[in-house]
Structure 1
Amino acid sequence: MRVLVYHGPWEMTLEQTDEPRPGPDQVLVAVKSVGICGSDVHGYTGSTGRRSPGVVMGHELSGVVAAVGANVAGAAAEDEVVVSPLFPYDGKGVREVLGVNTAGAYADYVLVHESMLIPKPEGLSFRHAAMAEPLSIAMHAVSRTPIPLMGNVLVVGAGTIGLLTLLSARLKGAGTIFVTDMSEHRLALARDLGADVTIN
């Protein structure tokens, strides 16, 4: 199978490796769509220390179950899924995060724990389903923010998370939504998605 391996700042190579086999509680997912997160870009450029040479990045994904381990009861081959990037955590040591410190989805296949699977809604494209993880971040931020009905909201930054926050705030009943960014292109996208006021 193909994997995109990170070797250090500004250096990645497309390589061939053996297809992994799932352990007892693991699921092998054939990757159908994967997003490029801002944290992956920061890892690639070396501006963050959260990616080590040898890692395969990619944690925003959707796909199809290709194989399941012997103990897996909640998934079967051909299931269409979205994958949460967080592995089960026992509170000891460093938590495993897909594509950060374990092999991620910039590959044809990825191994995950069965608890990380979420059924992909029928009719939702794999491309849109891969946005579930960044959308969850935006929705979580909005759910933790006390926005009164028709209250004003300021979104700082019109990248992926900012634009999804704009949409989530609108769904929550926000009134006037202000979006700031230094990119006119991003601000145009914000206006297209319903921002009332954009500020550069």
Structure 2
Amino acid sequence: MEESNLSVVLHKVNDLRLENTAIREPGKGEVQLRIARVGICGSDISLWKHGCIGKIKVTSPFTLGHEAAGIVSKLGEGVSNLKVGDRVAIEPVTTCGRCDKCKNGRYHLCSKRIVFGMPPYNGGLTRYHVHGADLCYKLPDNISLEEGALIEPLFVTIHAARRAGITLGSRVLICGAGTIGLLSLLVAKSYGASQVCVIDLNESRLRLAKSMGADVILVPKNNGARELADEIEECMNGKPTISLECSGDPLCVQSSIYATDSGGCVVCIGLGPDDVTIPLVDAVLREVDVKGIIIYPHCYPIALALLKSGNIDVKQIITHEFKLQQALEAFELVDRKEGIKVMINCE
């Protein structure tokens, strides 16, 4: 197979293909990247298997991949912040820059935002990708390209930690020990959480969470939301002040509200069904804030600082690496829920 610009292209539900795409030249303010590493995200699997994620639907073929890092191969007109050979992580979100949300610093809420790697916009699961130079962040020498590809999901957890108000002494519950749950664990600890409890049905993932610094791990035994909340309170010797719900499971959403201490905060990160019944009265009467997150604003400097300082080690969650030619095999593995973060080597 010709591999000049081999790409992972999603045509429609259950129709994922390896095929060649055109190599674009960079335009004004853009750079061409030779992509090095791309992480497979749960949203990629949802698009492949269900044709949608939330309101985003697959309507035409496009190249997947929004967790990417690469090396600058060409510069477009007017680019001065980068040079050929620079190693960069990409921010896959671009916005209008003119609306009130953008001007007030909440550009992630822009109604005209575009996310590369989400339909219909081509992403980075390819050999060569053109991207806005101002959305490419140069990696310090001590940050690997694998770590660079993990910066995008790391942003999600940094934004969640800020929304939740994690600070010194916070007692944090994390529901789900996948990529986002484990990165949330690292961020919560780096923000000063005094106790972090991670719950999941997968014992091997919980063992990894323990090795990464979780103070308490829990395999739920009960199927009721209140009963699970009681389990959490017992194993933590008290209620968490903050809960990060990373699974999207309705039971965990409900349990996290019951479990969280009065005056605390629940941040829903994982996406589950469109409609979920929650114990709203319980939250209201105890002043438990329930918040959501979407994308992330202004998180790159924080993520780069955390990685450069060595305060967190994100490489721990990489369990598999495949060559780009093996991408379909990698997607099948993720769909079987094997491993945690699966990385594609596009070099």
How would you bin the TM-score normalised by the shorter chain? over 0.9
Answer with 1 or 2: which has the greater Rg: 2
Asked if 1 retains the 8 angstrom alpha-carbon contact of 2:167 and 2:193, the reply is yes
User: Does the alignment pair 1:192 with 2:192?
Assistant: no
Instruction: Report percent identity of matched pairs.
Output: 34
State how far apart, in whole Å, the 2-side matches of 1:5 and 1:48 are. Answer: 15
Q: Tell me how far 1:148 sits from its aligned partner.
A: 4.7
State how far apart, in whole Å, the 2-side matches of 1:43 and 1:94 are. Answer: 20
Q: Tell me how far 1:88 sits from its aligned partner.
A: 3.8
User: Does the alignment pair 1:130 with 2:149?
Assistant: yes
State how far apart, in whole Å, the 1-side matches of 2:138 and 2:200 are. Answer: 35
User: Does the alignment pair 1:147 with 2:173?
Assistant: no
Stretches of structure 1 that go unaligned for 5 or more consecutive residues are none
Say which structure is richer in helix. 2
Q: Closer, same or farther in 2 for the Cα pair 1:64/1:152, shift >3 Å?
A: same
Q: Closer, same or farther in 2 for the Cα pair 1:51/1:29, shift >3 Å?
A: farther
User: Does the alignment pair 1:86 with 2:93?
Assistant: yes
Aligned to 1:24: 28
Work out which of the residue numbers 69, 76, 82 in structure 1 matches 2:83: 76
1:63 maps to amino acid: G
Work out which of the residue numbers 36, 39, 45 in structure 2 matches 1:35: 39
Aligned to 2:116: 98
1:36 maps to amino acid: I
State how far apart, in whole Å, the 2-side matches of 1:73 and 1:35 are. Answer: 28
Stretches of structure 2 that go unaligned for 5 or more consecutive residues are 100-109, 220-347
Asked if 2 retains the 8 angstrom alpha-carbon contact of 1:24 and 1:69, the reply is yes
Asked if 2 retains the 8 angstrom alpha-carbon contact of 1:88 and 1:113, the reply is no
Aligned to 1:114: 133
Structure 1 runs of 4+ off > 3 angstroms? Answer: 90-94
Q: Tell me how far 1:65 sits from its aligned partner.
A: 0.5
Encode CA deviations 1:115-168: one digit per residue, 9 max, x unaligned. Answer: 101011112111111111111111221123233523311011111111011011
Number of aligned residue pairs? 200
CA RMSD of aligned residues (A): 1.7
TM-score between the two structures when normalised by the length of structure 1: 0.93
Asked if 1 retains the 8 angstrom alpha-carbon contact of 2:35 and 2:129, the reply is yes
User: Does the alignment pair 1:156 with 2:203?
Assistant: no
State how far apart, in whole Å, the 2-side matches of 1:189 and 1:77 are. Answer: 38
Work out which of the residue numbers 7, 14, 18 in structure 2 matches 1:10: 14
Q: Closer, same or farther in 2 for the Cα pair 1:47/1:198, shift >3 Å?
A: farther
